[in-house]
Amino acid sequence: MHTVLLTIRYDGRAYAGWQRQDGFSTVQGCLEDALLRVFDEPIVVHGAGRTDAGVHALRQTAHLRLPRAFPPHGLRAALNGNLPQDIAVVDVRAVPASFHARFSAIGKRYVYRFCNTPVRPVLGRELCHWVRFPMDVERMRAGLAHLVGEHDFAAFASNPGYPRRRGTVRRIDQARIIRRPHGMDLVVQGNGFLYNMVRAIAGTLQRVGTGRMPPERVREILLSRDRRQAGSTAPASGLFLLRVLYPPAAWIADALYEGDADRSGRAPSSPDLGPGPSESH
């Protein structure tokens, strides 16, 4: 068996999230259906995480075991030829047999995109969250600063059953607000995120930015561990998974395909993301 890692980009509007579900269209389901058409046998795709319904991704990752050797560039072309137009495999590479897309990861980076204009956006409105009232970026940055570091983020978790399984302590390593011509991007990077955590943070910072909540209130909400104290869960349309983070050694692959494995330990090269959220943030 040959282990490969896929890097996938998708527009999440048409899907009930990443994970395959009977009776629903999902990103994992589309990938596994495409693999079935290519290899004529079922192949399970193991994702780095489960994005929710309507959430987008620029660099979601997933690994799979191939029944036979297949050149990465050929596999990318074959999959893209069998995938819907709103899902694309942007990179395929060989990885060690011990690699796991989820368990080898050391963190994730997300961006939440606000469109902050008095008139609703027409073009690209499905890829952002529109807020008509002016938002103060400096107030939002002051509120966001309280969330950096390792904390109990129970106040920002939407699923009450989740804490019993893995707890609610997570670490946010980096967080910033990037001002744009017609809004702002909330970028957060950490070792893991609770269910709807980024969207709950976005909804809370929206209240801070519009003056409905003082920045220092964010710390009080965090310490309360009470989801009812935080802002509402912001819409899925504004959330993008930017990148899944791995230690450098994870990219050092066995010699499955001569010349295809990057033995420098570098992550896959960045694709051209075009307009919208980018890794420069």
User: Half-sphere exposure of 61 toward its Cβ, with a 13 Å CA cutoff?
Assistant: 28
The answer to whether residues 111 and 100 belong to one domain is: no
Give the model's pLDDT for residue 69.
Answer: 86
Annotated active-site residue 52? The verdict is: yes
Residue from 156, 160, 216, 220 nearest 192 by CA: 156
Task: Indicate whether 246 pLDDT > 80.
Answer: yes
Residue 270, domain member (yes or no):
no
Is there a single domain that holds both residue 113 and residue 220? yes
Catalytic residue, from 11, 52, 91, 185: name it. 52
Structural domain includes residue 207: yes
Q: Average pLDDT over the chain, rounded to whole?
A: 87
pLDDT at residue number 158: 84
Q: What is the three-class DSSP state of 142? A: helix
Same domain, 72 and 167: no
Name the helix (H) or strand (E) containing 10.
strand 2-10
Spell out the residues 6+ positions from residue 160 whose beta carbon is closer than 8 angstroms to its own.
none
Look up residue 127 and give its two tokens.
Answer: 């890829």
Residue range 183-240, pLDDT digits in tens: 999 999 999 999 999 999 999 999 999 999 999 999 999 999 999 999 999 999 999 9
The pTM of this model reads 0.86
The reply to whether 171 falls in a domain is: yes
The range of the structural domain enclosing residue 88 comes to 2-104+247-251
Same domain, 89 and 181: no
Same-domain pairing of 176 and 225: yes
Give the pLDDT of residue 15: 96
Instruction: Find the CATH number of the domain harbouring 140.
Output: 3.30.70.660
Same domain membership, residue 163 and residue 236: yes
| Residues 68, 55 share a domain | yes
128-168 tens-digit pLDDT: 999 999 999 999 999 999 999 999 999 999 875 554 567 89
User: Tens of pLDDT along 47-94?
Assistant: 999 999 999 999 999 999 999 888 889 999 999 999 999 999 999 999
Other residues' Cβ atoms within 10 Å of the Cβ of residue 110: 24
- Identify whether 57 is part of a domain: yes
Task: For 172-191, write each residue's pLDDT tens digit.
Answer: 999 999 999 999 999 999 99
Q: Are residues 121 and 216 in the same domain?
A: yes
- Residue 120: its pLDDT value, please? 93
Angle between the N-to-C axes of helices 137-144 and 217-224, in degrees from 0 to 180, rounded to the nearest 10: 30
Q: Any idea what the CATH number is for the domain that residue 83 is in? A: 3.30.70.580
Domain tally, the chain: 2
Inter-axis angle of helices 27-39 and 72-80, nearest 10: 110
